[in-house]
Amino acid sequence: MSNDDLTQDSVLIDKAVKHAFGLDTTSDDGIFSDNGLPVRYHFFPTWRSRLGRLILFFVLSFLAIALSNEFDETVIRGELFTIGGTMLYMSMPLLMLIPGCLLGKILLYMYNCRYIIDERGVEAQIGLVALHLRQIRLKYEDIRGVETGQSIVERILNIGTVEVGSAMTDGVEIRMKGVANPRAIQILICNERDKRMKNMVGNIGRKTTSVVIQTGD
């Protein structure tokens, strides 16, 4: 690989980091450094991955309000409490429970999983708002491959799925669903993995050379 190729690759990585996370890569020692200090990227599935359901939520909310005004029997009214001689009442449209449940599912999807990329590796935290929390971490040296998947609509919205495979298994260890800028995330992980592997090979080469020199002496 020529120096021009290395320069172009570095520029591509810088653009990917800025576009995906809004941060600069100022250190030559690694793309996960900012002014020499380690940076920890953490992100959730983007709201754009649930754009269709969000549109459905607003449509159902509008219909629920319109039907509640039309059919008074779908609204529960009752007394709450009295403040300074003034009685406060509560009105609860039962039809609003339908879009409310849909919104709850959207929020659960968006905040139940968190993905972390730092100087040590890649981590997925699944079940942040559930009873059982799973934490999956892969070191860069153990990553076999990183693949992205996008439909036509997802390419337009710049969202998709990033799959990280482990060298110890044939399957996918971490699957980042509905994340923004999947290509940028893929570039970040692959670059750090390749750099770690290059350093590992260089260390082995230096140790081998040292052993040969000592044997010759």
Sheet holding 134-139, edge to edge: 41-43, 113-117, 121-126, 134-139
- How do residues 70-129 score in pLDDT, each as one tens digit? 998 888 887 777 777 787 777 888 999 999 999 999 999 999 999 999 888 999 999 998
pLDDT for residue 28: 46
Per domain, the residue ranges of the chain are 3-39+112-216, 52-104
Distance from C-alpha of 93 to C-alpha of 75, rounded to nearest angstrom: 4
Per-residue pLDDT for 6 more than 50? no
Distance from C-alpha of 44 to C-alpha of 178, rounded to nearest angstrom: 8
pTM reported for the whole predicted model: 0.73
pLDDT for residue 194: 87
End-to-end CA gap in the chain: 36
CATH of 3-39+112-216 given 1.10.3470, 1.10.357, 3.40.50, 2.30.29: 2.30.29
Q: What are phi and psi of 180, to 5 degrees?
A: -80, 150
- How do residues 159-171 score in pLDDT, each as one tens digit? 999 999 987 777 8
The one-character DSSP state at 131 is S
Per-residue pLDDT for 69 more than 60? yes
Could you give the C-alpha distances from 31 to 37, 117, 194, 204, in angstroms and in order? 11, 11, 12, 23
Distance from C-alpha of 155 to C-alpha of 161, rounded to nearest angstrom: 11
- Rg of the chain, C-alpha, whole Å: 26
The closest alpha carbon to 62, from 99, 97, 90, belongs to 99
Distance from C-alpha of 30 to C-alpha of 196, rounded to nearest angstrom: 10
Per-residue pLDDT for 157 more than 80? yes
178: left (phi over 0), alpha (psi -120 to 50) or beta: left
Per-residue pLDDT for 196 more than 50? yes
pLDDT for residue 216: 53
pLDDT for residue 195: 86
Task: List the beta strands (DSSP E) in the chain.
Answer: 33-34, 37-38, 41-43, 75-83, 86-93, 113-117, 121-126, 134-139, 143-149, 159-166, 172-180
